[in-house]
Amino acid sequence: MINPIVRCRGVGKSFGSGELVVHALRDVDLDILAGDFATLAGPSGSGKTTLLNMIGALDRPTSGTVEIDGQSLAGMDKSGLSELRLHKIGFVFQAYNLVPVLSAQENIEFVLQLQKVAPDERARRAREVLAEVGLEGMGHRRPSALSGGQQQRVAVARALVSRPSIVLADEPTANLDSATTTELVGLMARLNQELGITFVIGTHDPRVMDHSQRHIELLDGRIASDTRS
């Protein structure tokens, strides 16, 4: 049996207390396998972002357990969680989160710099991943000189450059027009198929869902359905 990259068991997350408590997640069981291209969908408030935060070790569950690549997050301190995120998880955010004073290549290299990769190797791998996302020769440009779609491609490249176990994307197409969305989703699907990179994408966008091999629907903090195409 294949060990899952992500294993959630009985995961719950509550905010507030007393009469004001909000149950964002309720008793979630979920396995993500290597090579999955999965979407997390559901109405606002269904728990998509909260579940991504649990999987991404950005927040701790109120109850239950989360494992990444066989490592339980429960006993890890902040330093351990930071190291796990750095080496195991790539993130793509709605707002790109690029450093404006750095070039595209420098933004990508930053992750490798934190991993203490040698400068020549950092540059080589950054150029390689820029080519993979269709931005070859544009590494010198700063974010302000790139379109929204190009900036999100840089964000995808940054997430991929360390070859993480899993890439998590939270509404990555929310700020993009229709044509750019189609290009970006096609890019992520191609990287999944050709390189075997595992993606979990939180989204409202039907165009993203159309490309997913696995569709996980959340409702009121619970998994309402989990289907594969």
What is 35-63+74-228's CATH number, 3.20.20.70, 3.20.10.10, 3.40.50.300, 3.40.309.10?
3.40.50.300
Q: What is the pLDDT along the chain (229 residues), one digit of tens a residue?
A: 577 999 999 999 999 877 788 899 999 999 999 999 999 999 888 999 999 999 999 999 999 999 999 899 998 999 999 999 999 999 998 888 899 999 999 999 999 999 999 999 999 999 999 998 999 999 999 999 999 999 999 999 999 998 898 999 999 988 888 888 888 888 889 889 988 889 999 998 888 898 899 999 999 999 999 999 8
Separation between Cα atoms, residue 154 and residue 58, nearest integer Å? 22
Inter-helix orientation angle 178-195/148-160, to 10°: 20
| Per-residue confidence (pLDDT) for residue 9, from 0 to 100 | 97
pTM as predicted: 0.92
**From the CB of residue 146, how many other CB atoms can be counted at a distance below 10 Å?**
19
- CA distances from residue 33 to 57, 71, 166, 227 in whole angstroms, order as listed: 17, 15, 10, 14
- The DSSP code for 158 is H
**From the CB of residue 8, how many other CB atoms can be counted at a distance below 10 Å?**
22
| Per-residue confidence (pLDDT) for residue 219, from 0 to 100 | 94
